[in-house]
Each structure stands twice: as structure tokens, then as C-alpha cells.
Amino acid sequence: MPLVKWKNHNTEDVEVGLMLNALKERYGYDFRGYARASLKRRLLELTRYFEVAHLSELIPAMLYDEAVAQTVINSISVPTSEFFRDALVWKMIRQQVLPQLNTFPWINIWQIGCGRGEETYTLAILLHEAGLLKKARIFTSDINPAFLEEARAGCWSRRRLEGWREGYLQAGGAGDFDSYFEDRGEEVAIRPELKHSIEFVQHNLVEDEVFKEVQFVVCRNVLIYFADELQERVLHLCTRSMERGGYLLLGRSERIMDFDEKYPELEVLDSDFQLYRKVVGGERHV
């Protein structure tokens, strides 16, 4: 009897691949282009949560139980955000980007990865304080409908306000940060008037295309979860959605690889804050 020839694949890597294929085939969520190391780490944490020995034991449950599948999806698309996170970025937007956006007759903003809404409502507060909210529309998107619902609700524990106040002040806020929230006992809720200019959109960066022409794309700390090929797709998607003269903001730790070759329609405005602009007239400024 001939010996079985084993391929040199780590069993956990095989299990991860099977789970990702199952998510794609059963639910239409394609996470196969995500950076594999961090993806594997987050999926393996599920073995402790579900108290199973091997990741592959979750596949049958995930296929037949949508609640299990949603837990898996949530573990992959974990939102990490807060109001005015990385305050100097928001101060830069307040001082440099918003005055330029005001030159457009209207302002459409695409904020990618809404999480639980903190960054979306941060944008709304900045626009309000600049007197631009009434002529602005914020399209905030996420692949995960559960996160979109949480963001739409706009409620958080009151205990979180203290840390957010400090970020607001560091970002140049001169008003009363607490006035943007309604008191709901142990929770606070964003005031309804800040929601009027926001649309919550389920959007899959892997498969979906541009849905709106915008003047500002905010895609912070999203690319770090993607492998190179998906990063490139997302950046081209962002660029195609931008009006000429529009702006793109990435996370400060994110860098565009092969920038000069692959993205001639973008120019760097601030390499520290990762702020870009879509060039006017088809050529970069020298």
C-alpha cells in the first residue's frame, strides 16, 4: 500500500481557508483578501469563545446557524474607534480640509468602516461647528449590518464621555462636547439633529463598486486588515469615487505602496497625516 503524501500545509491554515470559503459560499462575505496573520489570530480566538478544540468544528454550526455565523463575521470585522481618536488628525481636518470642502457647492463624504458610529458622528460634529453640515451628506458604510444598526442607534455608555472630551478639546473643539448627546441614564445618545445628514450603507469593499461621487473619502485604519491585492482594489475604488480636487484620508500608520506608479491621479498633501487629493487637470502638482 503506497504511503500517503502529505502536503506541507499547517492544519490551522487549512481550517482558516475552509471557514473563509464557507462564509463566501453560504453568506456572500468574502474575507479571503484580508491579511492572513491577523485574520487567523482573530478566528482562533473563537475556539476559546465557543469552547471547541479545533476551528473546523465551527464550520457546520456556522453553516446552519446564522447567529454563529454573525459571531464569526463580527470577530473578523472588529470595529475599534472612539470620538476624535487621534485628535491631531481631526484638528488638521478642521483647519485644512473643511475650508477647502466649503468651496464645493455641496459636500459628499464617504466614511468607510462605520464601526459603531464614533468616527461618523465625529465628522458630523466637525461639519456642524464649521457651519457646513446643512450642505453635507455623510455616507458611512460597513460590510456588517449589525455594526450599521449600532451606529444608527448612536448610543454609548456614559463612562466613555470623559475620554472623548479630551480628544475633542485636543482636536480644537471650543464648544460643549456633552451638548451633542442626550441623557439616557447609564447611556448617552447622539442628538437627532446630527443624524439628519448621515446615510448608513451596507457596502462590501471586496465585491461592490462605487455608489456615489464624493469630495472626501475617510478610510482610516481599514487597509491594515487587507492583503496587498485587496488594498490596491480599495484604493482604486476610493479614487474612482472622488471628484477631482477631492480628498482622501487614510490611517496614519497606513502607506500606499508603489504610489507613483499605481495612483497617478493622487497627490500627497501631508505624508504624516496620510492626506491625499485627486489632482485637477490630470497631472500632479510639481
In this prediction, residue 69 carries a pLDDT of 86
How many whole angstroms separate alpha carbon 205 and alpha carbon 117?
Answer: 18
| C-alpha cell of residue 221 | 485604519
Q: Phi and psi (nearest 5°) for 248? A: -130, 130
**pLDDT tens sequence across 196-225:** 999 999 998 888 899 899 999 999 988 887
Q: Which amino acid is at 161?
A: L
Q: What is the pLDDT of residues 103-156, one digit of tens each?
A: 999 999 999 988 889 999 999 999 999 999 999 999 999 988 888 999 999 999
Q: Bridge partners of 260?
A: none
Give the strand order in the sheet containing 155-157.
155-157, 187-190, 181-184
Torsion, Cα 270 275 280 286, to 10 degrees, reads 20
Q: What is the largest CA-CA distance in the chain?
A: 80
95, exposed or middle or buried, with CB in 10 Å at 0-12, 13-18, 19+?
Answer: exposed
- Mean predicted confidence (pLDDT) in 8-24: 84
Q: Distances from the Cα of 185 to the Cαs of 26, 42, 182, in angstroms?
A: 41, 34, 9
Supply the mean pLDDT for the chain.
89
pLDDT band, residue 286 (cuts 50/70/90): very low
Q: What is the pLDDT of residue 232?
A: 92
Interval 35-85: pLDDT, tens: 788 888 888 888 888 888 888 899 999 899 988 888 888 787 766 789 999
State pLDDT tens for residues 153-180.
Answer: 999 999 999 999 999 999 999 899 999 9
> Number of H helices and number of E strands within the chain?
11, 10
Q: Set out the domains of the chain in order of their start, with CATH numbers.
A: 11-76 (no CATH), 87-278 (3.40.50.150)
- Residue 2 pLDDT: 55
